[in-house]
Amino acid sequence: MTPTRVNTQPFEGQKPGTSGLRKKVVDFQQPGYLENFVQAIFNTIARCEGETLVIGGDGRFYNREAIQIIMRMAAANGFARILVGQGGILSTPAASCVIRKHGACGGIILSASHNPGGPTEDFGIKFNGENGGPAPEKLTEAFYQQTLAIEQYLTIDADDLDLDQPGSAQLGNTQIDVIDPVKDYADLMESLFDFERMAALLTRGKFRMCFDAMHAVTGPYAKEILEKRLGAPQGTVINAEPLEDFGGGHPDPNLVHAHQLVELLNNDDPLDFGAASDGDGDRNMVLGKGFYINPCDSLAILTANAQLVPGYAEGIAGVARSMPTSRAVDRVAARQGVDCYETPTGWKFFGNLLDAGKITLCGEESFGTGSDHVREKDGLWAVLFWLDLIAAKEQPAREIVRSHWIQYGRDYFTRHDYEGLDSDSARQMIDQVRENLGALVGRAFGELSVESADDFQYRDPVDGSETTGQGIRVLLDNGGRIVYRLSGTGTQGATLRVYLDCYQKDPALLELDPQKALAPLIEVADRIAGINRHTGREQPDVIT
Ligand code: VG1
Ligand code: CO
């Protein structure tokens, strides 16, 4: 079958953000829009001939249509083989696992993660390379330059393929394998954790848990692993069926959006453990009985206890966290005598460190935790890690966290998001803070004064690439820290994120409400940036 060349013109603004290209579904439905971006990827990574490509997505609206378009284009561009998840499904970490396991040259993942789905909502596309990880900035910039230059894309004239039956088919000269989206991933999990110990915990009858898949991609994964392989009772996984609109909810695992789960952990007869994941399965939220575990603490605690888990029994090489993530994990790394790296926001910045063997675990404050087992953050992996720790230590989650704080002190952390802001005024506000950084140092705000202030930049220790403008950091003399940055994943207006953290080691002050513990910092954050003055907002939209 000969490929057809279709003439097309570049589209405005196909610039990938923190995690791929995210736009409204209607943008992607414009003739040639998705095709431009996909051809830009293929032109950039060339050559495609003879290679294997992985394709899958989080099941949201337009997932199936997009996959058919991409498969025809991949066939026209000469790929030898395409592995596609049955039903078009592959969670982000599972796609990473499949790419690595089957020697693919990369994969295309269709997801807008935690952004809502549906005909009037969001869609997204990202490319992961042969290491299974998100394309580094150099590559995403090259994709973008290609989208501006493009005049034609390649496709073939062929009918849609059936994605619902496992098996092989031909598309032009390309072999299409519809694979079980869960098996490779579930096998990998079984190789890392003590499934016998966890099964004993889950089937003893005393320990009760719930996993909320939020009608997003992790439902089939959680059912296979928790209910089938580990024997947890049927119904342990709720909202397990992936839906195109995620049942109308936000598949964002935080205290606001996972309220059904939060309720189960806080009612009169609370469960022992709860967890949720996001749209594409790379984020996690973990809850103990009446107790929320902050992702920054989670990373620190997994690091401190890694040796109890078979996959990490030999210890860890090092750790990394994104800059806005609290410094809780730094304290653990220091005590263990391993390196701790501070990277810009976004998983792509961990890739080189993982590939070079400099780190074993890494994480972000935004409910993302992971390790060198794949090259993406991994929601279910983090949940299984916690379950294995609970089983190994024979302690409830809450006790594990408390004893960690007693040992290391606590890094209070919160993030305040202001969503849907006018893009110009948000930018202006950040620019003003940036221009006045010098004058800020030494300034007093009530009892606190500013010790240092900078705009975070990063030099990759492996390939030396530099990234600037990654968030404004202000350090105060009480050890507190304020970080301001604008989101790179939104599709409407601008989202301002303000991250606040402060260290406390007084054993009497370890159990405060973070909003109270951080109240003085929160006030200083508004005074420095003039959030209220610039945005007109009195309160953040989401507090985590
Ligand atoms: C957000 C988070 C960031 C995360 C990114 C992708 O980015 O803050 O930590 O890596 O989402 O996560 P931003 O630019 O909006 O702050 V996911 O689960 O959407 O792939
Ligand atoms: Co995600």
Asked if the model's pLDDT at residue 489 lies above 90, the reply is no
CB-based contacts of 469: which residues, under 8 Å, 6+ apart?
455, 456, 457
DSSP one-letter code for 135 = P
Domain ranges of the chain: 4-180, 185-408, 410-543
Give per-residue pLDDT as tens, 162-202.
999 999 999 999 999 999 999 999 999 999 999 999 999 99
- Is residue 172 within 8 A of residue 156, CB to CB? The reply is yes
Mean pLDDT for 46-51 is 87
Query: What value does the mean pLDDT of the chain take?
Result: 95
Ligand closest to Cα of 344 equals 1
Q: Rounded to the nearest 5 degrees, what angle is found at the Cα of 422, between the Cα atoms of 420 and 428?
A: 130
CATH (residue range 410-543): 3.30.310.50
Question: Bridge partners of 386?
Answer: none
Given this chain, do its domains 4-180 and 185-408 carry the same CATH topology? yes
Let me know if 449 is a catalytic residue. Answer: no
Beta strands in 344-471 (DSSP E): 361-364, 368-371, 410-421, 444-445, 448-455, 458-459, 466-467
The reported pLDDT for the residue numbered 535 is: 87
The reported pLDDT for the residue numbered 10 is: 82
Which residues have a beta carbon within 5 Å of ligand 2, which is an ion? 113, 278, 280, 282-283
Asked if the model's pLDDT at residue 491 lies above 80, the reply is no
CATH of 4-180, one of 3.40.120.10, 3.40.50.300, 3.20.20.70, 3.30.1360.80: 3.40.120.10
The reported pLDDT for the residue numbered 445 is: 92
- Give the SS3 label for residue 493: coil
Mean pLDDT for 150-172 is 95
Closest-CA residue, ligand 1 atom 13, reads 487
pLDDT class of 536 with cuts at 50, 70, 90:
confident
Asked if the model's pLDDT at residue 490 lies above 80, the reply is no
Using most ligand atoms within 8 A of CB, pick from 18, 60, 126, 350 the residue to mutate for ligand 1: 18
Asked if the model's pLDDT at residue 209 lies above 80, the reply is yes
Q: At what angle do helices 397-408 and 379-393 cross, to 10 degrees?
A: 90
- Tell the CATH superfamily of the 185-408 domain: Alpha-D-Glucose-1,6-Bisphosphate, subunit A, domain 3 (3.40.120.10)
- Give the SS3 label for residue 353: helix
Give per-residue pLDDT as tens, 58-105.
999 999 999 999 999 999 999 999 999 999 999 999 999 999 999 999
- Is residue 459 within 8 A of residue 465, CB to CB? The reply is yes
Q: Where are the alpha helices (DSSP H) in 174-241?
A: 183-192, 195-203, 218-222
Give per-residue pLDDT as tens, 400-430.
999 999 999 999 999 999 999 999 989 999 9
The number of C-alpha atoms within 13 Å of 376 and in the hemisphere containing its C-beta is: 34
What's the length of the chain? 544
The reported pLDDT for the residue numbered 46 is: 85
Using the mean position of ligand 2's atoms as its centre, give its distance from the Cα of residue 378 in Å: 9
The reported pLDDT for the residue numbered 11 is: 84
Ligand closest to Cα of 349 equals 1
Asked if the model's pLDDT at residue 300 lies above 90, the reply is yes
Give per-residue pLDDT as tens, 245-279.
999 888 999 888 899 999 999 999 999 999 999 99
Using most ligand atoms within 8 A of CB, pick from 111, 140, 489 the residue to mutate for ligand 1: 489
